[in-house]
């Protein structure tokens, strides 16, 4: 069993909020809704009221705690570094524990009152769900991310591939030369890369072959557990974490790479906080772009012949990398690519608005946030927006489509793979 902090455990951090209001400048949800209960300062007050037995766990509490992207921006810029994202997660665990796991979804369908949802449900959402998720295991975060009955009809969704990544590539790819002396990486694929964006995983394999580095893709791996975390479902988090710890213990590896920023947080940040038996895997987690920079890929890319009419590309910072301070590596790689002219966009560091399940339950707000992102992409003049998280890529494409822009979102790895000989 993992150790998950309770809301009460966060009492000192909750007390550290001095109500200065600085979080208002950071919170994308607040900027869209302009209600104090949506911003960190308000959520902290609401959580404190619950701890002091002055507020209930009721529908309103569920709604308030659901209105968080868990992007960590407020935590970053808080003068007292109050971890509101973690406090919201603890509040969601509290909801699940007191009211049952399904409360979150049930209450929110009631509260958000989106009639279209009900239409989809009536039109046999369950049948659709079966079709879409055929290949996806019961506990995959994808089922939480896309609970079909909730999904807005006009939302862009990537197609589920009939052939997941882990069926497409070998389990172990040794280096052609000096295999034994080279660092071995285990690839944590995550659900989205495995089931919806296998091309990102294939690009990763191509880059590893180019660098002639050994790669192992543990076959028994599963979902990182982040979506379950976001829903307060600790039992599923533990179950998934146990399975992953076992899956990755089969070989001794030097690093566990992720190409999904959310999975990176899922196994990195969260396993580390769950206790010793998970921390070992958590500490090994490394974003693939950071790893590639460390392996000298930037220099190797710079040595390639330049392309004549490079494609103009901008970059979106996934929250789960930005909050770890990983902002330079993806840009360094993009700038080094022979076929890319890199341009910054305004608001690159702002959350895309997906927030995992947030966009499912609060799609309207999510779209407002995404629209601002689309403005930034448009005025940057870029043809492509690259990122390092399939979740962001999905949301960026949705925002681009709704803005009527003729642009595409993709992973940095895909661009690297395109430019390799």
Partner 1 sequence: MMLEPRIIRTLEEIVGTDNVTTHPTDMLCYSYDATQQSFLPDVVVFPADTAQISLIVKLANVENVPVFPRGAGSGFSGGSLPISGGIVLATARMDKILEIDEENLVARVQPGVVTEQFQLAVEKLGLFYPPDPASLKFSTLGGNAAECAGGPRCVKYGVTKDYIIGLEVVTPQGDIIRTGGVTMKGVVGYDLTKLMVGSEGTLGIITELIIKLLPLPEAKKTMLIMFDSIDGAAQAVSAIIRGKIIPATLEFMDAATLECVRKGTDLKIPAAAKAVLIVEVDGEAQMLDRQTSRISEIVQPLGVVETRIAATPAQSEELWKMRRSVSASLRNVNPDKFNEDICVPRSKVPDMIRRVDEISQRYAIPIVNFGHAGDGNIHVNIMVDAKQEGQLEKAQAAIKEVFAAALEFGGTMSGEHGVGNTKAPYLSMELDPAAVAYMQTIKHALDPKNILNPGKILLEQPVELD
Which tokens sit at 25? 């400048």
Contacts of 42 (CB under 8 A, 6+ apart): 35, 36, 64
Query: CB-wise, 41 or 155, nearer to partner 1?
Result: 41
Smallest separation (angstroms) from partner 1 to the CB of 32 = 11
CA distances from 151 to 114, 148, 187, 201, 362 (A): 10, 5, 30, 26, 10
Smallest separation (angstroms) from partner 1 to the CB of 62 = 11
CA angle 102, 191, 328 (to 5 degrees): 115
Smallest separation (angstroms) from partner 1 to the CB of 51 = 13
CA dihedral 241, 247, 250, 252 (to 10 degrees): -60
Query: CB-wise, 79 or 170, nearer to partner 1?
Result: 79
Query: CB-wise, 23 or 223, nearer to partner 1?
Result: 23
Q: How many residues does the chain have?
A: 421
Query: CB-wise, 81 or 131, nearer to partner 1?
Result: 81
CA angle 176, 414, 357 (to 5 degrees): 120
Query: CB-wise, 71 or 274, nearer to partner 1?
Result: 71
Q: Closest by alpha carbon to 31, among 373, 369, 402?
A: 369
Q: Under the rule (CB under 8 A), what is the footprint of partner 1?
A: 15-16, 18-25, 34-37, 42, 45-46, 49, 55, 60-61, 64, 79-81
Query: Coil, strand, or helix at residue 343?
Result: coil
Query: CB-wise, 58 or 167, nearer to partner 1?
Result: 58
Smallest separation (angstroms) from partner 1 to the CB of 39 = 9
Smallest separation (angstroms) from partner 1 to the CB of 60 = 5
CA distances from 236 to 1, 222, 232 (A): 10, 12, 9
Smallest separation (angstroms) from partner 1 to the CB of 379 = 11
The beta strands (E) that lie in 96-247 are given as 172-173, 185-188, 215-216
Query: CB-wise, 34 or 116, nearer to partner 1?
Result: 34
Query: CB-wise, 20 or 220, nearer to partner 1?
Result: 20
Smallest separation (angstroms) from partner 1 to the CB of 61 = 8
Query: CB-wise, 49 or 220, nearer to partner 1?
Result: 49
Smallest separation (angstroms) from partner 1 to the CB of 346 = 10
Query: CB-wise, 81 or 118, nearer to partner 1?
Result: 81
Smallest separation (angstroms) from partner 1 to the CB of 27 = 10
Smallest separation (angstroms) from partner 1 to the CB of 103 = 17
Q: In whole angstroms, give the CA distance from residue 31 to residue 112.
A: 19
CA distances from 137 to 164, 208, 211, 232, 400 (A): 12, 28, 33, 19, 30
Q: Closest by alpha carbon to 140, among 233, 59, 251, 78?
A: 233
What are the φ and ψ backbone dihedral angles of 69, each rounded to 5 degrees?
A: -80, -10
Q: Tell me if 187 sits within 8 A of 199, measured CB to CB.
A: no
Q: In whole angstroms, give the CA distance from residue 88 to residue 94.
A: 10
């Amino acid at each position: 069993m993992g150790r998950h902090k309770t809301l009460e455990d966060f009492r000192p951090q909750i007390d550290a909020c001095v109500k200065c209001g600085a979080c208002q400048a950071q919170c994308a949800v607040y900027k869209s809704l302009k209600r104090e209960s949506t911003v960190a300062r308000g959520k902290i007050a609401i959580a404190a009221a619950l701890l002091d037995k002055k507020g209930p766990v009721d529908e309103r509490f569920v709604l308030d705690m659901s209105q968080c992207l868990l992007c960590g921006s407020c935590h970053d810029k808080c003068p007292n570094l109050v971890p509101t994202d973690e406090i919201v997660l603890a509040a969601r665990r509290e909801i699940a524990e007191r009211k049952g796991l399904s409360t979150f979804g049930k209450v929110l369908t009631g509260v958000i009152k989106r009639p279209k949802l009900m239409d989809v449900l009536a039109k046999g959402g369950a049948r659709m769900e079966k079709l879409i998720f055929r290949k996806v295991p019961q506990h995959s975060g994808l089922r939480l991310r896309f609970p079909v009955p909730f999904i807005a009809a006009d939302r862009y969704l990537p197609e589920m591939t009939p052939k997941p990544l882990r069926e497409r590539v070998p389990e172990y790819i040794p280096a052609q030369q000096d295999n034994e002396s080279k660092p071995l990486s285990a690839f944590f694929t995550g659900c989205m890369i495995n089931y919806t964006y296998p091309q990102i995983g294939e690009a990763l394999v191509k880059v590893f072959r180019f660098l002639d580095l050994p790669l192992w893709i543990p076959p028994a791996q599963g979902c990182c557990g982040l979506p379950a975390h976001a829903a307060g479902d600790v039992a599923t988090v533990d179950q998934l974490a146990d399975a992953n710890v076992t899956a990755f213990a089969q070989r001794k590896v030097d690093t566990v790479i992720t190409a999904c920023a959310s999975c990176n947080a899922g196994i990195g940040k969260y396993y580390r906080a769950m206790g010793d038996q998970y921390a070992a895997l958590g500490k090994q987690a490394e974003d693939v772009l950071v790893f590639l920079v460390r392996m000298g890929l930037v220099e190797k890319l710079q040595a390639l012949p330049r392309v004549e009419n490079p494609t103009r590309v901008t970059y979106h910072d996934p929250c789960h990398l930005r909050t770890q301070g990983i902002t330079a590596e993806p840009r360094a790689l993009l700038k080094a690519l022979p076929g890319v002219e890199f341009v910054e966009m305004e608001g690159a560091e702002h959350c895309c608005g997906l927030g995992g399940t947030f966009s499912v339950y609060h799609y309207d707000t999510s779209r407002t946030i995404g629209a601002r992102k689309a403005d930034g992409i448009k005025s940057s003049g870029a043809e492509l927006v690259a990122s390092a998280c399939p979740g962001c890529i999905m949301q960026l494409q949705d925002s681009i489509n709704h803005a009527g822009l003729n642009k595409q979102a993709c992973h940095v790895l895909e661009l690297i793979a395109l430019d390799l000989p």
